[in-house]
Chain A
Amino acid sequence: MDIPILKQGNCLIASVQPALTDTGLLQLQENLLMLTSKYRSHGVIIDVTVLDVIDSFTSRTLRDTVYMLKLRGAEAVIVGIQPDMAFALVQLGITLEGVKTALDLEEGLALLER
């Protein structure tokens, strides 16, 4: 299942779906790298509002994606981690260290604009 990526000005916005497979996440990584090059985007928002689970693979891949985009001159922000998800991540010791986060899409875009 391909995750839709929208272009908004200088930013790309990807909204992750609940049933995200490992393959789907890696495909998203590839697509974001490709599209940031194509549109010379400076900012990327990865919206995980409706993602059901962030396990160790997901967190590691998200971190890698953010770093890969940084190498390509784009800043990425993860938005939409829900309260229950935040709680579970901390309880399980699954970290998103080094990754910028914001409450939601609006906050994420504001962060990128600064």
Chain B
Amino acid sequence: MDSETHLQIRSDADIVTARQKGREMALLLNFLGSDVVMLATIISELARNIVEYAQHGELVLSIAQQVGKRGIIIIARDEGPGIPDLELAMKDGYSTGNSLGLGLPGTKRMMDEFEIISEVGVGTTVTAKKWER
């Protein structure tokens, strides 16, 4: 497997592909079984957000290397409508669509590093990293 995978996300089949690739990548690294499931679930949520809000976007999965440790980087980007109130979107339990708002706040909580950039009319990019323990 390459250390970087680009996935086009447009349909619910793509959501499945993305989470399977994520699982494969997490299994290559030294993640706990529950972390593997969690990462696959987060990837599923982020991919689903793309399909729901932007109809089309990209998910990039890559392996990060630092001295003595490795990690997984997940980038979910789209050129969709953007998030008007980012603070509200990051609140637990909030949702405008179907995903119950678990995606963004849940992701931030579980990942070691998390960044979201969103501009109305331009798009959204979520970058999340998790390091091996």
Contacts and interface: CB of A to CB of B under 8 A. Distances in A.
B13 to A, nearest CB: 6
Contacts of B98: 56-57, 60
A60 B13 CA distance: 18
Nearest to B13: A21
Interface in B81-133: 92, 98-100, 102-103, 106, 110
Contacts of A22: 12, 15
A35 interface: no
Nearest to B32: A84
B15 A92 contact: no
Contacts of A57: 48, 98-99
B100 A53 contact: no
Given A21-B16, A94-B102, A87 B45 contact: no
Interface stretch (B2-10, B33-41, B57-65, B72-80): B33-41
Contacts of B41: 53-55, 88, 92, 94
A55 B103 CA distance: 9
Size class of B's contact patch? 20 to 34
A52 interface: yes
A92 B34 contact: no
Contacts of B102: 55-56, 92-94
A85 B37 contact: yes
B44 A55 contact: yes
Contacts of B38: 87-88, 91-92
14 contacts: A19-B20, A22-B12, A52-B20, A52-B37, A52-B40, A55-B48, A56-B98, A56-B99, A56-B103, A83-B33, A88-B41, A91-B38, A93-B106, A94-B106
